[in-house]
Each structure stands twice: as structure tokens, then as C-alpha cells.
Structure 1
Amino acid sequence: MNFSYELIEKYKEVKGYTQDKQVISDFTEFNSGNMSQIKKGNRHLTANQCIAMANAVGMDQKEALLKLAIEKSKSKEEGKIWSDIVKKISAACVALTLVAGLANAPTEDAFA
């Protein structure tokens, strides 16, 4: 399953929708042909659709757009580069979280 279709399915779940036509009615530039092509992997969400759905499901917009870029990659090399960017950003976030956690950790003096 491709990212666009996965995001649509999450959107349907969050909205309590059971049919694709309910999703289609939420987006003016969306139609049943587009939906069919997305399901087949021949088409992708637009950036605006991706952002709107990411917001609705509580997903970070930047992460969603990066995943969409990976999906839209024209070559394996391009997809790998986008994947590497996502990994580096994730690693930087983890490192930052650890540093922030260590900065707030109690010292031995606090227990004296």
C-alpha cells in the first residue's frame, strides 16, 4: 500500500467514514477517478490534500510531505535520498530529546 492511500485510510478512520465517496466530498479537487488511481498506485495526493489529511489525523505536516515526496520519487536513487533525509531528521530529533532530557536530569547535588 502506498503512503497516499494509507493516509486516506487513516483519514477515513478518524472521520468515521466507511466509503471513499465521503472523503471525495471533503476535497473539491478530488474525484472518484483520482481515488481509483491512488489506490492502484498510479497517482498521489497533492501537497495540499496531504497537509489537510495530515492535520485531520494528527500527523506532523512535515513528516507527511516528506513521505509524499518519497512516494512521488521518479527513481530509486531519489527515493533513497528522501528516505535518508527523513532518517537524519529523525535521528537529530532523538538526539535533541536526549540532550534536553540530560540537561533537565537531577544532579548529585540535588540529593545531598
Structure 2
Amino acid sequence: MNISSKLIDQYKALDGGKSDKVIANEVPSMTVGNVSQVRTGLRHLTPEQAMFIAERCGLDIGEVLVKLDMEKAKTPEVRAEFEKILKRLAGAVAGIILTMGMMAAPASDAVASPAR
């Protein structure tokens, strides 16, 4: 299943299963025919549509956009480069989270007070 179709499924599940008609009415520049074409792999979401769904579903917009471009890539070499970008993005996010966790940790009592 492609990322465009997965995004539609996630959006559909938000309110307990929206119909394709409801999705088409809510997602910018979407028609019921577009939803059907995405599901069959004949078309992809536009970046704007993917962003709209990612925002509503609480997904990382950058990651979604990279995956969308990766899905549209014509050659394995281009897809591989997008995969590298995703890995670097994930590494950077992990590093930021680790740094923030270390900064939020309480100070240790093991530090001795200066002598007078």
C-alpha cells in the first residue's frame, strides 16, 4: 500500500470511518474520483493534500512529504536518496530528544558544596 492511500486511511479513521465522499469534501482539491485513483495507485496526493491530512492526524509533516516524494520517485536510486534523508531526519530528531531529556534531568546531589 502506498503512502497516499495510508494517509487517506488514517484520515478516514479519525472520526470512526469517514466515507470517501466526506474525505473528498474535506481535503483540499480532492474529488471522490481522486480518492479512488489514489487507492488504485493511479495518482498520489498532492503535497498540499498530504500536509492537510498530516496536520489533522498529528503526523510529522516533513516525514510525510519526504515519503510522498519517495513514492513518486521514478528510479530506485532516487528512492534510495530519499531513504537516506529520512534516516538523517530520524537521527536528528532522536538527538534533539536526547539532548532535551538531559537538560530536563534534575541536578544530582552528588556535587559537593564549596568549602568555606
Interval of TM-score (by shorter of Structure 1 and Structure 2): 0.7 to 0.9
TM-score (ref. length: structure 1): 0.85
* Deviation string, structure 1 residues 56-95 (Cα, Å, up to 9, x no partner): 1111211211111111111111111111101011112212
User: Matches of 1:93 and 1:28 in 2, distance apart?
Assistant: 29
Do the aligned partners of 1:17 and 1:23 also contact (CA within 8 Å) in 2? no
- Relative to its length, the structure with more helix (as a share) is 1
1:93 maps to what in 2? 93
User: Matches of 2:96 and 2:17 in 1, distance apart?
Assistant: 38
- 1:14-25 paired onto structure 2 within 5 Å: 14-25=14-25
- 1:10-89 paired onto structure 2 within 5 Å: 10-89=10-89
Q: Which runs of 5+ in 1 are unaligned?
A: none
User: Matches of 1:96 and 1:27 in 2, distance apart?
Assistant: 32
Give secondary structure in 1 for the equivalent of 2:111.
Answer: helix
Aligned identity (percent) is: 35
Do the aligned partners of 2:37 and 2:43 also contact (CA within 8 Å) in 1? yes
Q: Which runs of 5+ in 2 are unaligned?
A: none
Larger radius of gyration: 2
Task: Compare relative contact order (CA 8 Å, sep 6+) and give the higher one, 1 or 2.
Answer: 1
TM-score (ref. length: structure 2): 0.83
Task: Count matched residues.
Answer: 110
Instruction: Give the letter aligned to residue 74 of structure 1.
Output: K
User: Matches of 1:55 and 1:104 in 2, distance apart?
Assistant: 28
Instruction: Give the letter aligned to residue 88 of structure 1.
Output: R
